[in-house]
Each structure stands twice: as C-alpha cells, then as structure tokens.
Structure 1
Amino acid sequence: MTPSFVPPRARGLKVQRSCREAPVVVDSTVEHQSGCGHETEKGGRRGEALEVIVWAGVLRRAHDFVSARFPAADGVVLGGSSASGTTTPTSDLDLLLIGPDEMLGGRGSSLAATYEHEGQLVEVFAYTADSYRVWAGREVAEHRPVILVMLAEGVVLREAPVMAELRRWAAEVLAAGPTPDRHALDVRRYRLSALLDDLTDAIDPTEVVVLMSAVFEALAELLLLAHGRWLGSGKWLVRRLHAWDPDTARDLGEALVAGERGALVGHARRLLEPLGGPLQAGMVR
C-alpha cells in the first residue's frame, strides 16, 4: 500500500519503500540507496526527522493490519488525526475500506468495528461501494459527515478504480454543504432559546456547568447549519466552528472554559439575532 500523498504536517516528504516492502516516508533531502534502509539526513531538522519516523510507523501498522484482517479490500483510506498529522499518545487508526462482499467475510455489506493492533486501537469503517453510498447518505441527512470526510480528505493507502468515482462524489456532496429546511432551523432555535432561559435562571453549580455546555453545543450547531456548514461531534464540532469563524469560536470557547455564564449568554443572544432571535411562543414542533 503506497499512499498517494502524505499528511499536511509532512508535506515536502516523499514515500519510498524499504527492503521489507512496507511504505516508508523519507525527507526529500535524503538519498535512498540500494538495499535496506536509507542514509542519514542532509540538513534535516530533528523535529522533522521524528515526524518522518512517526508517519512511517503509522503506514506500517495500517499496512500490516489491513493485510492481516482485510486482505480483500480494494481501497484503503487513512483518516482522522493520523492522516492530518495531529496524532496524540491516545490516537487510534481510522481506516475506511472499500471492497467486495468477500472482504467482510459474510458479515453483510458494511462493518463498523474497533480492533486492537500492536497496542493501538483501530477503528474500521468497511463497505461495499453500494453500501458506502447508502451510509454516507444517512450522514448527509444528519448533517454529520464522517465517512464522506474520510474518503474525500484522507490519505489513500490503496487505490482502486471505484475509489476515484466515490471520492469525486464525496467531494461534491461535501462542497454542496448541508441543506436544512427552515423548520429544522427553527426547532434548533427554539431549543436554544429554552436552554438560555434555563441557564440564566440556574442556581445549582452542576446545572450551570451542564447547561453552559449544552448552550455551547446547541448554538454552535445552529450557527454552522444556518451558514451552510457541516456539523461534527465532540472535538470536531469545535474545529468546524473554528474553521467557519475563528473569532466566534474563540469568544464562545473562552466564556465556556472560564465558566462565565453571563458572557456566554450574551454572546448567544447576540448571535441569535441575525437568525431571527429567540423563538418560543408560536413555535409548532
């Protein structure tokens, strides 16, 4: 499996193979000699060299895992933090697999499962080409694309003819953005309005903390959808909010982290106004 490109933090690196045929990333200033391994860097920085080693390890583990567990996979894509070059000590490997029914060993036409490989968790999303479109369509309906983003933005480790067509389709869907109707946005505005009242009146400290988090999430989702942006869960909601408007993400995040209830409520009411303001009386759900 040779990736078609390397993650953002490793740009400027190229992929070559070692004697054991596992993909290895080497700095573009490194001369790859015949035989096993490569020569020392020429002027490379220590941090860059460490990044190369980490990336090479990611590729090897992904290659070994797929070869052992899903050898019939036609296409393999690496997603998540491993693909973006932002791994942490607890990061897992996120792998999207496209292949025939045989790839799934009689377990249907799709599989979402967690494995452990060499001490690291591996999240597998495996589909036939047809079932991929079905499951991606469900994500679109919920405005939370996961496997669409993996395919369109991930690192391709194993290419297949069907992958190119699916990638084009995924990219087009993502570029079009979500299309919630007016009623769906009103329902979210209604729920946020109720949460803001609850937060304003809350006395119990635990309730305040829970309600502040709920307001942040509800407001972030409403803002993203109202401006044609996809939703995310957990950290991905924060990242997508930041990608849409860094200043708004900063203001809301600082208020939430500092526990400044008044500031968060103030930001929320201000941001609600262009969307029609608070909505309660007259709302039909």
Structure 2
Amino acid sequence: MGGFNKLEPVKAAQKCINNYYPNCDGALLAGSVVRGEATSTSDLDIVIFDDTYRSSYRESLIAYEWQIEVFAHNLKSYQHYFESDYKRARPSLPRMVSEGIILKGGGVIDSIKCEAKELLSKGPEKWSIEIINTKRYFITDTLDDFIGCNNRAEEIFIANTLAELVSEFVLRTNNKWIGASKWIIRSLRDYDVNFAEQFVEAFDIFYRSGAKNEVIKLVDEILHPYGGRLFDGFSLGKK
C-alpha cells in the first residue's frame, strides 16, 4: 500500500473512527484494502455500529487523502440488511462484516461477525423448479435476440444482458452467491475458476471479433442439464 503515497489504510480508518465517530460501539474496515486487492482508485469501506442511531445510513467523505465510504448501523438495523442481502443472494454487508478488520468494539463486532459468517456459509435460498424454468425462458429469449441481431451496437448490449442472466443462473442453480459489476466474475471464480475462464473467453471472443458461436455453445451447455432452451409451453402468471 506504500506505493499509493498516503496514510496506511488501517491507520487512516482508525483516525476516521476516532475523529468522526468517537462514540460508536464498534467499527471495522472492509473492502479491497482488506483483501489485498486495492488499486490507486480504491476507497476505504468502513462499517460503523452505534446503538444511538435511529436507523441505518450511508455517507461518503474524503479524509487523510482517502475516499471513505461509511456504512452506519445500530445494533439491530444491520439484521434487516443481512436478511435483504440473503433474499437477493448478494451478501454485500455480510461479506464486509465477515472479512473486515476490527477497529473498535471487539466483543460487539465478534458477535456480528459470527452472524455474517454463518449466513455466508449457508448460501442463498435454493431456487424452485418454477424459478429455474422462468430463468430458462428469459435466457432463451435473450439468446434468440443475440443470435438474430445483426446490429453491432444492439448486440453488444444484448450480450451484456445475456452475460448477467447466465452468470446468475449458473451461480444460483449451484447454491452460490451472485454479484454485480466486478463481483460477477469474482463470484464465478469462487464457484469454479475453470468455468469462469471459459465464461470470460466466450464473451471476450464475441466482444473482440463479433463471433457468437462460443457464447451460444456456452449458454446451451449451461441450460442442457435443466432441459435446454425453453419457449414452447412456457407461461407466467396464468390462473
């Protein structure tokens, strides 16, 4: 971290807590600096627990040459976010709490960390057959658009949608957490490094050359164990 020519992240985070949130019950530093993945544009993610807060909130500031994102909770409000993250299968707060370095309030934080780790190890809620079939249909619909499109600008964005749908399908049908943006590929790598490489290569070939065959092949291989593409006979919301 010395290469960034700024205060070391844990020290900067500790100063932030001491100066801006001195009365909090507990705090931890999370994010890329904790995982050893920080870049020159990385910020500090700090989670605050203060039981005097009426509700959760989020705020940003610049201090000690760092951009700092603060996620503030009382000693109950974080549970709502844990539950919400579980339902959407994107464990943002549980992951931050689980991996975070404790800055203050070890006893308080240790208990919340245990909750986070238990939730993460549990994995997301299993998809029903109905949900799987609905996802198959929308993937099929998007794949058909992708195959038939001959407008370069449009097919780029169709491919983006297809990549998100397919990554979600693979992860959820294997009881794994999903992600957004950079966390899509991170989640795929957590699931299967070899598959993640195959996934990236297929879409990279398309983005570089316009060739669609590898993407089409990949999608069909993923859908095959669940019955393949789905259109004929599908219905949604029929009484």
Give TM-score scaled by structure 2 length: 0.90
Q: Distance in 1 between matches of 2:85 and 2:5?
A: 32
Aligned to 2:231: 280
Q: Which amino acid aligns with 1:157?
A: L
Deviates more, 1:141-150 or 1:256-265: 256-265
- Unaligned 5+ segments in structure 2 are none
Aligned to 1:199: 146
Aligned to 2:36: 85
User: What secondary structure, in the 3-state scheme, does the structure 1 residue paired with 2:47 have?
Assistant: strand
Q: Shift of residue 185 of structure 1? A: 2.6
| 1:218 maps to 2:165 | yes
Q: Shift of residue 265 of structure 1? A: 1.2
Q: Shift of residue 75 of structure 1? A: 1.5
Stretches (4+) displaced over 6 A: 53-56
| 1:238 maps to 2:189 | no
Contact 1:177 1:230 in 2 (8 A): yes
Aligned ranges 1:41-80 → 2 under 5 Å: 50=2, 57-80=8-31
User: What secondary structure, in the 3-state scheme, does the structure 1 residue paired with 2:136 have?
Assistant: helix
- Unaligned 5+ segments in structure 1 are 1-48
Q: Which amino acid aligns with 1:174?
A: L
Q: Distance in 2 between matches of 1:55 and 1:149?
A: 26
Q: Which amino acid aligns with 1:163?
A: I
Contact 2:127 2:173 in 1 (8 A): no
| 1:188 maps to 2:135 | yes
Q: Distance in 1 between matches of 2:227 and 2:47?
A: 40
Q: Which amino acid aligns with 1:225?
A: R
Partner of residue 131 from structure 1, selected from 73, 77, 80? 77
Q: Shift of residue 275 of structure 1? A: 2.6
Contact 2:90 2:179 in 1 (8 A): yes
Q: Distance in 1 between matches of 2:235 and 2:61?
A: 45
User: What secondary structure, in the 3-state scheme, does the structure 1 residue paired with 2:235 have?
Assistant: coil
Q: Cα distance 1:155–1:186, how it changes in 2: closer, same or farther (>3 A)?
A: farther
User: What secondary structure, in the 3-state scheme, does the structure 2 residue paired with 1:231 have?
Assistant: coil
User: What secondary structure, in the 3-state scheme, does the structure 2 residue paired with 1:186 have?
Assistant: helix
Q: Percent identity?
A: 26
Q: Distance in 1 between matches of 2:226 and 2:18?
A: 51
Q: Distance in 2 between matches of 1:55 and 1:161?
A: 30
Could you report, residue by residue, the CA deviation over 1:201-232 in whole angstroms, capped at 9, with x for unpaired residues?
A: 01100111111121111101110000010011
Aligned ranges 1:32-47 → 2 under 5 Å: none
User: What secondary structure, in the 3-state scheme, does the structure 2 residue paired with 1:191 have?
Assistant: helix
For these two proteins, the number of residue pairs brought into alignment is: 231
Q: Distance in 2 between matches of 1:213 and 1:54?
A: 37
CA RMSD of aligned residues (A): 1.9
Deviates more, 1:219-228 or 1:149-158: 149-158
Q: Cα distance 1:56–1:238, how it changes in 2: closer, same or farther (>3 A)?
A: same
Q: Distance in 1 between matches of 2:185 and 2:80?
A: 27
Q: Distance in 1 between matches of 2:195 and 2:147?
A: 21
Aligned to 1:141: 87
Q: Shift of residue 200 of structure 1? A: 0.3
Q: Distance in 1 between matches of 2:106 and 2:2?
A: 31
Contact 1:72 1:100 in 2 (8 A): no
Aligned ranges 1:164-179 → 2 under 5 Å: 164-179=110-125
Q: Which amino acid aligns with 2:32?
A: S
Give TM-score scaled by structure 1 length: 0.76
